[in-house]
């Protein structure tokens, strides 16, 4: 234990850095750490969203098992290494069950064109538009 040498202060979104800039602030050493879900860093690393709970993804036991025993945490750390960040697991929301629809969803085709209100989850643009 740190023997009293560790001092932790918490700041709300926007108090120390703008709400969406914690990723950059931690990577640049402006703040010591940032607590945010990895889908919020999809703009920095598209693959980040694949290391967390996603629609139709693993349940919480599956995700924890993959992270702890299946190499997932190592892959995640590799993604963040180029940003000078070390991701840690701190909570697990489980599979993202979401949607309030006006019509029944009975087959995969029924999902086409529906909004996806999940942070970061979006298809990758085709190479020609990047």
Ranges of each domain in the chain: 14-94
| Pair 27, 85: CB distance under 8 Å | yes
Average pLDDT, the chain: 80
pLDDT of residue 117: 59
Could you read off the pLDDT of 47-71 as tens digits, one per residue?
Answer: 877 777 776 678 888 889 999 999 9
Q: Give start and end residues of each alpha helix (H) in 28-99.
A: 60-69, 72-81
Q: How far apart (Å, rounded) are the C-alpha atoms in residues 63 and 56?
A: 12
Q: How far apart (Å, rounded) are the C-alpha atoms in residues 50 and 41?
A: 11
Q: What fold is seen in the domain 14-94?
A: D-Maltodextrin-Binding Protein; domain 2 (3.40.190)
| Pair 96, 118: CB distance under 8 Å | yes
pLDDT for 123 beyond 60: no
CA angle 88/18/34 to nearest 5° reads: 10
């Amino acid at each position: 234990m740190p023997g009293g040498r560790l001092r932790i202060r918490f700041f709300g979104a926007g108090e120390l850095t703008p709400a969406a800039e914690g990723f950059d602030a931690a990577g640049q050493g402006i703040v010591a750490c940032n607590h945010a879900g990895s889908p919020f860093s999809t703009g920095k690393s598209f693959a980040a969203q694949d290391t967390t709970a996603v629609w139709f993804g693993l349940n919480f036991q599956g995700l924890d098992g993959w992270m702890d025993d299946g190499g997932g945490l190592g892959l995640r750390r590799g993604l963040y290494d180029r940003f000078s960040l070390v991701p840690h697991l701190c909570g697990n929301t489980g599979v993202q069950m979401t949607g309030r629809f006006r019509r029944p969803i009975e087959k995969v085709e029924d999902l086409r064109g529906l909004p996806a209100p999940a942070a970061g989850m979006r298809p990758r643009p085709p190479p020609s538009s990047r």
